[in-house]
């Protein structure tokens, strides 16, 4: 749960800075957020969470 909240905060921060620098438009941000929301409700959410957890564990062991 803590990792998920941290990743959400990290991605939200990156999205915020992309919007401020006009690198990413508001329409693209809405599409990206919608894609992430709907991807979380599919069967792909399990493997994506496992991959993120494995990467975080690997970085923690460096």
Q: Which two tokens stand for residue 46?
A: 């399990």
45 has a pLDDT exceeding 60: yes
Residues 6+ apart with CB under 8 A from 39: 45, 48
- Are 15 and 29 a contacting pair, CB within 8 Å? yes
The DSSP symbol for 42 reads S
Summary mean pLDDT of the chain: 78
pTM over 0.85: no
5 has a pLDDT exceeding 80: no
Helix (H, G, I), strand (E, B) or coil at 21: coil
Percent of the chain with pLDDT over 70: 87
């Amino acid at each position: 749960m803590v990792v998920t909240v941290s990743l959400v905060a990290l991605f939200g921060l990156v999205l915020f800075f992309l919007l401020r620098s006009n690198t990413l438009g508001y329409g693209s941000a809405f599409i990206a957020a919608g894609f992430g929301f709907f991807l979380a409700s599919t069967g792909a959410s399990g493997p994506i969470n496992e991959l993120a957890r494995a990467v975080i564990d690997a970085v923690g062991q460096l």
